[in-house]
Structure 1
Amino acid sequence: MLTTTRSVRKRLDLTRPVPMGLVRECLEIALQAPTGGNAQGWHWIVVTDAARRKAIGDYYGRSWRRYYDSESSAGNLFQDDPARSVAQRRVSDSAAYLADRMGEVPVLVMACITVPGGLPEGNQAGLWGSLLPAAWSYMLAARARGLGTAWTTLHLAYEGEIAELLGIPGDVRQGVLVPTAYYTGETFRPASRQPLDEVLHLDHW
């Protein structure tokens, strides 16, 4: 399961409803993830209302279009490496497909965390490390139950607008938006990755 939980974009079933009970099962598992100081400051917003999903999708689409034209977009990376550039174009193509349809995905799950006093200065790994593992656990649980997901953060360009739309308090920050739907097809396999020895450092860099 760990090696075949892929970002599902083109193969999300946009027409099949997802039972809330199934989403709750996945979130119950997510709550078993580690959290700094056992603070459990996470909050989960599950959006199924059609109008709110469309509004979030519109914000996401706006952000996607800016990102797509930037040098850091997936399709513009590794252009000097023919093998990797082909994979990057596939990623960009599927991301564009999802961006055009984000508001149609049956369930949008937003992982948030309480941040009293605002975001800390400097390295924020401790803060987000208390939320993002739980979001990944949710995605793994969804995979085990026939649901596809994708890790997305482009909505954060409109974090304030989405917070107002959903009534999110000012001391709660959004971490990731996870579109969730049944997936079509069963051909998930381990992804092509850099060899371990290219990124492994023993005792020193």
Structure 2
Amino acid sequence: MTLPLGPDELLTTTRSVRKRLDLDRPVPIELVRECLEVALQAPTGSNAQTWHWVVVTDADRRRAIGDYYKRSYDSYSEQRAARNAKLSAERQAVGARVATSADHLAERMGDVPVLVLACITAGADLPAGNQAGLWGSLLPAAWSYQLAARARGLGSAWTTLHLAYEREIAELLGIPGDVRQGVLLPTAYYTGETFRPAPREPLDTVLHLDAW
């Protein structure tokens, strides 16, 4: 059963959920499968469908992925603090709220009931040139998964920090060498009632008609 969300509401209220992930409520694997069935309808280059989805529910493996994620996050958070110091006071305030939420997820990633890794067959070495064609055949499907999860009362978060330890995680999960990970989607029921659209810069600050 899905929530009564219109397309615009679904698209504008599917947020990265971190603090509000319910770490104590089990997520039925059947519900994850439903979300992935929706994801498989996403566009993919030449209709190749070379994606793979690794769904991790085993507690030990989740904990190990969480440890790698935390190590990567600790390094990233130092760089983020330096970048935020150069922003306006308003943007710094927003960044501080996001940082608190991200800190929480980094501490608890290994406790999230379901970790979904979206992967794609790409070869051991990524293309040296424009990779838009490669990732464009995977990332829309990952976003579709998040939308399907939101419609079913699940929260998720988009993160790629685990990729600093992609090889270690691949070894942990037995992922073949020619399959590359694109995004990690921690998935759980969420606490609270609903979500609101996030504040964004006005459209006209980024819109270019006919030319830059």
Contact 1:151–1:177, Cα closer than 8 Å, also in 2: yes
Whole-Å separation in 2 of the counterparts to 1:49 and 1:20:
12
97, 106, 109: which one aligns with 2:116: 109
Residue 141 of structure 1, CA deviation:
0.2
C-alpha RMSD of the superposition: 1.2
Following superposition, the deviation at residue 117 of structure 1 comes to 5.9
Aligned in 2, Cα 1:75/1:18: closer, same or farther, shift over 3 Å? Answer: farther
**Letter in structure 1 aligned against 2:93:** V
Moved over 4 A (4+): none
Q: TM-score, normalised by structure 1?
A: 0.96
In structure 2, the residue matched to 1:194 is: 201
1:3-52 deviation line (CA, Å, top 9, x unaligned): 00011000000000000000000000000000000000000000000000
CA distance in 1 between counterparts of 2:81 and 2:33 reads 32
Equivalent residues in 2 for 1:38-187, closer than 5 Å:
38-70=47-79, 73=80, 76-77=83-84, 79-116=86-123, 118-187=125-194
> Over residues 75-106 of structure 1, what are the superposed CA-to-partner deviations in whole Å (9 max), with x where a residue is unaligned?
84374312111111111110010000000000
SS at match of 1:2: helix
Q: Deviation per CA, 1:58-77: give whole Å up to 9, x if none.
A: 0000000000111xx27843
Unaligned runs of 5+ in 1: none
CA contact (8 A) 1:11 1:183 kept: yes
Normalised to the residue count of structure 2, the TM-score between the two structures is: 0.93
Match of 1:18 in 2: 27
Counterpart of 1:69 in 2: which secondary structure? Answer: helix
Contact 1:75 1:92 in 2 (8 A): no
